[in-house]
């Protein structure tokens, strides 16, 4: 359609104007090439890191740039997997990220539903509180989160890592907006069908908004998996660390091994990278929603 | 089973009164249409019967039991929404069985009921589809199926055909009529479309600004409108109203002087006029077309617009009484600008007083 | 029907009447309870405690002596605080505006593309954003590695020698800022692309018929229409980068930490490493205040934007 319209436009233009547009298309081509170049620059560190992990340690420290390994080796990965605690860290990361995700989404959906669909005293105040808590700078609370978790005896536990990550007002806000936009006929139809409030929530509103739940869950998982500061503070024992903390805090006693360090990093980034590649559209949708733009 | 009895019902939203002291009895097995323009309160009335809106004052009896405070699911009513409100995340089967599933009916019972309803509505081939994969008419049938499965005492329809195109609408009208004959359950049907009301209902309740303007059978409303509102709302094209001067009364009839000087004698329905100006109401099909100046003509005029509809012709004739619409035969040879005479049928004409009520 | 809609449409609640339906209130209480408990324990209480702790000379764990505003007086005389503040501000300056401009430029470039090419290029820019900071740290640590890093080839070509970038003070912040931009620009690109897609192609076609050049199209149409998104991106980045800790900590670890200190890092240093909970909390209160001021500013800006519409 656009192409046709542009052709029509060209017919009505003077020859000089037509020439201008021709040269401008060269400008467009250059813009595309620059974008492509930028993409290569952006992707290169990832590629370089990944390809290094597949090299033999001795080849890595040879002078010269080998864009492709001279000899392939999975030694870096086998070493990291079998000789470090990365397995334990992985389990810790998985448990805390899944726990955080589940709780954030569950709490957000429940309160978002109540604020959107139920009439109760204090509803308005609660809503304003949630909007206001948007501004919380969570890193400022680390001292007292630590004190609190220490009082609860939760330092070095999964729960201690999870709890302070549950502040997610944006989840409530997004759920409220989505529940608001469900036409009220559905609620009425289900009420006539005999649904109570719990059934309305679990069998109607939640399933009708699976898309947004998936999106929020994915983004919450990625956020929790990637979180560094709090898991770094809340855990002091090696065996309780998350993978993102562990790989930077525990270094090989026998000098720097580039391939192994990078291999561990690749493994740490793998789950979120895979999630993004599978759920690209959901991830971008969720990011835009959390930024306040309807995707 | 299936009578509905509304007693002195008033509905207010804050200070706005939507329904005022309305009483209505709906008989068992009847098909009642609630007819009126947007904002007349007809949907609110239906939703109060369903239990979706609280009744501010008054009460609602279903089968003689006061259900004013009963939650919607326990009233024995089922509702078909204008938007159908089919649960988008469920298949047709799940949509139909949803109320049974909420009531923890066994899988066997659910399957039986779904089968019964889907056969009745020819939905058996579509049971595993989702609403998004259905056509408008199919969605409509699923919505009805969802109501039907509950075996309600009263069916409530809230403008169910307004989302369909014209051809489908008349087809669904026939299906609804057939459904009513089959199940013989009381049906209450809200619509702003007088054709739907006339064709489907055995009783029409016309609502205007929260009060009942008139209730009766379709033909009663058509032939004996109680007021100008009903007269103008029912019938298409709408009734012509002509301001006339009241003359003498002979027995049951008044002689009126029409604009342009002609006079006519029109029978009352037993009332007496107050004041000396009235509105004469006459439907387009009750104005006879003749030669200009012929004896007995009520109005002389010129044809302004001609609409050839095939089976009939609509003429917009400019007369001393303003533009009058005339419905004439289909193959009429008439041109714009022709001078014509119009004769009203005194036995099919109505007199309305200054308050809009029929005399 | 207009009348029946008037009931609930304004609030989105099918409300029966002005008074509460108590079974509904009970359900609502159950539904919001987890949220209120979590917020009370994880947000409200720690915030109060933070202020309380900042008025005490206390260790991280355990009781301390009430000292009133002494900690604050001490803080504003602390040379390290001014270093941390200016480092943070410098970092914000180096990241926020460049990553916004870069985000817009890349988004304009990507927006020209179609289909799979667009998705592929977008993915190149976006993937870094979803990676954990530790991965970014390892990858760029390797890129800049003073012995074998691939970027030492161009550095050697310019300076004549290998350069330990993260141990060279004037280069530290700009380098970490660049890495942060590399890491986070995908987010900005995403928001800008969403903004650009909201501009109807018909507007461009109309302007083409009006004889607008490509530059005029950008300056007269794209830029004014994308400005609200730009403000949004700027404020989000501003608030985000003010909380900088992870990258600076990881890359600076083992170097002259005092010289590369940022505000969050100062909280960490005092409360966790020096076991001065009260003083750490004081820094936290100040940071809290700064960010709340920025957030209010953001909110006002966004509201002003909403008002224009």
Minimum CA–CA partner of B52 in chain C: C16
Q: Give the closest residue to C113 by CA, choosing from A219, A89, A31.
A: A31
Question: How far is it, in rounded angstroms, from Cα B100 to Cα A170?
Answer: 36
Residue A40 lies in a domain: yes
Between B319 and C299, whose confidence is greater?
A: B319
Is B308 found in the same domain as B325? yes
Task: State how far the Cα of A130 lies from the Cα of C39, in Å rounded to an integer.
Answer: 10
* CB contact (8 A) between residue C130 and residue A261: no
Chain C contact probe: residue of A15, A26, A34, A35 with most C CBs at under 10 A: A35
Structural domains of chain B, count: 2
**How far is Cα C61 from Cα C280, in angstroms, rounded to an integer?**
12
The dihedral over CA atoms of C258, C260, C262, C268, expressed in degrees to the nearest 10, equals -50
The pairs formed by C19-24 with CB atoms below 8 angstroms and a separation of 24 or more are C20/A119, C20/A120, C20/A121, C21/A119, C23/A197, C24/A118, C24/A119, C24/A120, C24/A197
Cβ neighbourhood burial of B174 (10 Å; 0-12, 13-18, 19+): exposed
> pLDDT tens, C131-163?
999 999 999 999 999 888 999 999 999 998 888
CA distance A124 to A128: 6
% chain A with pLDDT above 90: 63
Give the distance from residue C172's alpha carbon to the nearest chain A alpha carbon, in angstroms: 19
User: Which domain range does residue A59 map to?
Assistant: 2-76
Has residue A71 got a pLDDT over 80?
yes
In chain B, residues with a C-beta closer than 8 Å to the C-beta of C8 are none
- Give pLDDT, residue A65: 85
Which CATH number characterizes residue B329's domain? 2.40.50.140
pLDDT for the residue A121: 92
Predicted TM-score of the model (pTM):
0.85
Same domain for A44 and A96? Answer: no
User: Do A167 and A72 belong together in one domain?
Assistant: no
Number of residue pairs across A and C with CB atoms under 8 Å?
298
pLDDT of residue B191: 93
* Chain centre distance of CA A74: 28
pLDDT of residue B294: 80
Is position A24 within any domain? Answer: yes
Q: Which domains does chain C have, with CATH numbers?
A: 78-308 (1.10.3720.10)
Taking contacts as CB-CB distances below 8 angstroms, the residues of chain A near C135 are 244, 265-266, 268-269
How many structural domains does chain A have?
Answer: 2
3-class DSSP assignment, residue B151: coil
In the numeric block, which tokens belong to residue B320? 């001393």
| Chain B residue with Cα closest to C18 | B14
- In terms of domains, do B199 and B319 share one? no
Residue among C3, C16, C17 whose CB faces B41 most closely: C3
Q: Do B146 and B30 share a domain, yes or no? A: yes
Show which of B233, B265, B290 is a domain's final residue: B233
Return the percent helix, strand and coil in chain A, to nearest 5.
80, 0, 20
Q: Give domain status of residue A218, yes or no.
A: yes
Domain's final residue, options A58, A76, A94 = A76
- Picking from A76, A96, A111, the residue at the C-terminal end of a domain is A76
Same domain, yes or no, for B270 and B190? no
Q: Is residue A61 domain-shared with residue A192, that is, in the same domain?
A: no
pLDDT score of A7: 42
User: Residue C203 pLDDT more than 90?
Assistant: no
Say if residue B126 is in the same domain as residue B267. no
Please tell me whether residues A23 and A104 are part of one structural domain. no
What CATH number is attached to the domain comprising A258? 1.10.3720.10
pLDDT tens digit sequence for B256-314: 988 888 888 888 888 887 778 889 999 999 999 888 878 788 888 999 999 988 889 99
Q: What is the arithmetic mean of pLDDT over A201-225? A: 94
Do B160 and B193 sit in the same domain of this protein? yes
| A188 close contact with B: CB closer than 8 A | yes
What percent of chain C is predicted at pLDDT more than 90?
65
| Gap from C20 CA to chain B (nearest CA, Å) | 13
The pLDDT assigned to A235 comes to 95
A92 and A54 within one domain: no
A149 and A235 both lie in a single domain: yes
Beta-carbon-side half-sphere exposure of residue A20 (alpha carbons within 13 Å): 12
B212 in any annotated domain: yes
How distant is the Cα of C5 from the closest Cα of chain B, in angstroms?
9
- Give B1's pLDDT tier (boundaries 50, 70, 90): confident
Residue C176 DSSP SS3: helix
| Within a domain: A295 | no
Q: Is B340 in the same domain as B204?
A: no
pLDDT at residue C79 is higher than 70: yes
Higher pLDDT residue, C305 or A244? A244
Chain C residues within an 8 Å CB radius of B55:
none
Note the pLDDT of residue A268.
94
Residue B5, C-beta contacts closer than 8 angstroms, at least 6 positions apart: B24, B25, B26, B60, B61, B62, B64
Grouping H, G, I as helix, E, B as strand and the rest as coil, residue B183 is helix
One DSSP character per residue, C252-295 reads HTTS-GGGG--HHHHHHIIIIIS--HHHHHHHHHHHHHHHHHHH
Residue where a domain terminates, one of B198, B218, B233:
B233
Mean pLDDT computed over C48-63: 93
What is the per-residue pLDDT for A104?
97
| Predicted confidence band of residue A2 (pLDDT cuts 50, 70, 90) | very low
The whole-number pLDDT of residue A246 equals 92
Distance in Å, alpha carbon of B166 to nearest chain A alpha carbon: 24
Do the Cβ atoms of A293 and C232 come within 8 Å? yes
pLDDT computed for residue C221 by the predictor = 87
- Structure-token match 């989840």, residue found: A171
Domain containing B332 equals: 240-352
Query: Between A185, A186, A199, which is nearest B102 by CB?
Result: A199
Regarding whether B270 and B169 lie in a shared domain, the answer is no
In chain A, which residues have their Cβ closer than 8 Å to the Cβ of C23? 197
A197 contacts in B (CB within 8 Å)?
A: none
The pLDDT, as a whole number, for residue C304 is 65
Residues C8-20 have pLDDT tens digits of 333 333 334 457 8
How far apart CA C207 and CA C216 sit, in angstroms, is: 9
Q: Within this chain, do residues A59 and A174 fall inside the same structural domain, yes or no?
A: no
Binning pLDDT at 50, 70 and 90, where does residue C4 land?
very low
Q: Point out the domain boundary residue: B200, B233, B266.
A: B233
Residues B229 and B292 in one domain: no
pLDDT in tens, B234-247: 988 899 999 998 88
Cα C82 → chain centroid: 21
Residue B205 pLDDT greater than 60, yes or no: yes
Alpha-carbon gap, residue B328 to B308, rounded angstroms: 10
Q: Are residues A40 and A99 in the same domain?
A: no
A100 & A224 share domain: yes
Chain A residue numbers with beta carbons less than 8 Å from the beta carbon of C123 are 277, 280
A8 and A105 co-located in one domain? no
Is residue B359, in this structure, part of any structural domain at all?
A: no
Whether A202 and A279 map to the same domain: the answer is yes
B220 and B288 both lie in a single domain: no
A257 and A190 in one domain? Answer: yes
Chains that touch B (3 or more CB pairs under 8 A): A, C
Query: What average pLDDT does range A35-39 have in this prediction?
Result: 95
Measured between alpha carbons, how far is A207 from A80 in angstroms, rounded to an integer?
41
Closest CA of chain A from B85, distance in Å: 5
- Is the residue at B218 inside a domain? yes
- Looking at the domain assignment, is residue B357 inside a domain? no
**pLDDT score, position C62:** 87
Domain contains B335:
yes
**C206: contact with A, CB 8 A cutoff:** no
| B95 and B203 part of one domain | yes
Give A214 to chain C, closest Cα distance, Å.
17
Domain boundary among A52, A76, A100: A76
Query: In this structure, are B159 and B247 located in the same domain?
Result: no
């Amino acid at each position: 359609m656009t192409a046709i319209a542009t052709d029509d436009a060209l017919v009505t233009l003077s020859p000089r104007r037509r020439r201008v547009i021709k040269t401008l298309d060269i400008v467009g081509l250059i813009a595309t090439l620059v974008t492509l170049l930028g993409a290569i620059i952006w992707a290169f560190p990832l590629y370089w890191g990944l390809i290094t992990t597949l090299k033999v340690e001795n080849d890595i420290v040879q002078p010269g740039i080998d864009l492709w390994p001279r000899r392939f080796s999975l030694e870096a990965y086998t070493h990291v997997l079998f000789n470090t605690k990365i397995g334990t860290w992985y389990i810790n990361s998985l448990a805390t990220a899944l726990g955080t995700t589940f709780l954030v989404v569950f709490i957000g959906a429940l309160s978002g539903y109540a604020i959107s669909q139920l009439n109760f005293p204090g509803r308005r105040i609660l809503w304003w509180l949630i909007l206001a808590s948007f501004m919380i700078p969570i890193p400022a609370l680390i001292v007292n989160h630590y004190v609190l978790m220490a009082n609860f005896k939760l330092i070095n536990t999964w729960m201690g890592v999870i709890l302070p990550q549950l502040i997610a007002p944006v989840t409530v806000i997004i759920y409220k907006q989505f529940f608001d936009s469900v036409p009220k006929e559905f609620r009425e139809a289900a009420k006539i069908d005999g649904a109570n409030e719990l059934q309305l929530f679990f069998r109607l509103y939640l399933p009708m908004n699976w898309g947004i739940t998936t999106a929020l869950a994915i983004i919450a998982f990625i956020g929790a998996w990637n979180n560094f500061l709090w898991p770094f503070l809340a855990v002091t024992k090696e065996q309780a660390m998350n993978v993102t903390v562990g790989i930077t805090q525990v270094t090989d006693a026998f000098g720097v091994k580039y391939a192994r360090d990078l291999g561990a990093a690749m493994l740490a980034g793998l789950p979120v990278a895979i999630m993004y590649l599978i759920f690209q559209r959901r991830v971008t949708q969720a990011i835009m929603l959390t930024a306040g733009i309807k995707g | 089973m299936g009578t509905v009895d509304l007693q002195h019902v008033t509905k207010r939203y804050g200070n706005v009164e939507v329904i005022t002291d309305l009483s209505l009895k709906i008989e068992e097995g009847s098909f009642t249409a609630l007819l009126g323009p947007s904002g007349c309160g007809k949907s609110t009335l239906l939703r109060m019967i369903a239990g979706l809106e609280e009744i501010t004052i008054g009460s609602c009896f279903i089968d003689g039991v006061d259900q004013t405070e009963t939650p919607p699911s326990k009233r024995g009513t089922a509702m078909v929404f204008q938007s159908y409100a089919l649960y988008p995340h469920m298949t047709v089967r799940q949509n139909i069985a949803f109320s049974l599933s909420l009531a923890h009916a066994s899988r066997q019972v659910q399957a039986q009921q779904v089968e019964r309803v889907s056969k009745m509505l020819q939905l058996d081939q579509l049971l595993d589809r989702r609403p998004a994969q259905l056509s408008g008419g199919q969605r409509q049938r699923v919505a009805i199926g969802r109501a039907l499965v509950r075996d309600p005492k009263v069916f409530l329809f809230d403008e169910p055909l307004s989302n369909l195109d014209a051809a489908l609408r008349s087809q669904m009208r026939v299906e609804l009529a057939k459904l009513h004959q089959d199940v013989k359950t009381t049906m209450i049907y809200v619509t702003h479309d007088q054709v739907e009301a006339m064709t489907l209902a055995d009783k029409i309740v016309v609502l205007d600004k929260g009060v009942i303007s008139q209730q009766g059978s379709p033909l009663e409303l058509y032939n004996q409108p109680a007021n100008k509102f009903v007269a103008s709302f029912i019938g298409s094209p709408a009734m012509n109203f002509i301001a006339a001067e009241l003359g003498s009364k002979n027995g049951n009839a008044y002689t009126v002087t029409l604009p342009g000087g002609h006079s006519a004698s029109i029978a009352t329905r037993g009332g007496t006029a107050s004041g000396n100006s009235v509105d004469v109401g006459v439907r387009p099909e009750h104005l006879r077309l003749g030669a200009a100046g012929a004896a007995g003509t009520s109005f002389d005029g010129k044809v302004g617009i001609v609409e050839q509809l095939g089976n009939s012709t609509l003429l917009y004739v400019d007369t001393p009484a303003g533009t009058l619409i005339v419905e004439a035969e289909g193959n009429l040879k008439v041109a714009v600008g022709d001078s014509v005479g119009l004769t009203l049928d005194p036995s099919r004409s109505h007199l309305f007083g200054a308050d809009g009520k029929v005399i | 029907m207009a009348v029946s809609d008037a009931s609930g449409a304004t609030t989105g609640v099918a409300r029966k009447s002005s008074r509460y339906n108590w079974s509904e209130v009970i359900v609502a209480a159950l539904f919001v309870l987890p949220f209120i408990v979590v917020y009370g324990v994880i947000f409200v209480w720690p915030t109060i405690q933070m202020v309380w702790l900042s008025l005490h000379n206390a260790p991280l764990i355990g009781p301390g002596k009430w000292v009133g505003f002494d900690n604050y007086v001490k803080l504003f005389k602390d040379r390290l605080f001014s270093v941390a503040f200016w480092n943070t501000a410098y970092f914000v300056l180096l990241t926020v505006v460049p990553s916004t401009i870069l985000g817009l430029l890349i988004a304009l470039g990507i927006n020209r593309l179609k289909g799979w090419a667009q998705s592929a290029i977008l993915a190149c820019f976006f993937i870094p954003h979803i990676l954990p900071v530790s991965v970014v740290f390892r990858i760029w640590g390797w890129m800049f590695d003073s012995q074998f890093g691939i970027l030492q080839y161009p550095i050697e070509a310019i300076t004549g020698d290998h350069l330990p970038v993260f141990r060279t003070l004037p280069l530290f912040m700009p380098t970490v800022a660049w890495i942060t931009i590399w890491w986070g620009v995908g987010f900005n690109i995403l928001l800008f692309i969403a903004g650009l897609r909201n501009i109807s192609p018909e507007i461009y076609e109309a302007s083409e018929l009006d004889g607008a050049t490509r530059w005029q199209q950008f300056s007269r149409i794209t830029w004014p229409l994308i400005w609200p998104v730009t403000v949004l991106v700027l404020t989000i980045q501003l608030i985000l980068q003010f909380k900088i800790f992870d990258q600076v900590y990881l890359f600076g670890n083992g170097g002259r930490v005092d010289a590369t200190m940022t505000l969050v890092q100062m909280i960490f240093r005092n409360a966790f490493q020096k076991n001065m909970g009260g003083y750490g909390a004081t820094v936290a209160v100040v940071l809290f205040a700064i960010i709340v001021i920025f957030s209010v500013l953001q909110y006002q800006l966004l509201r002003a934007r909403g008002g224009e519409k």
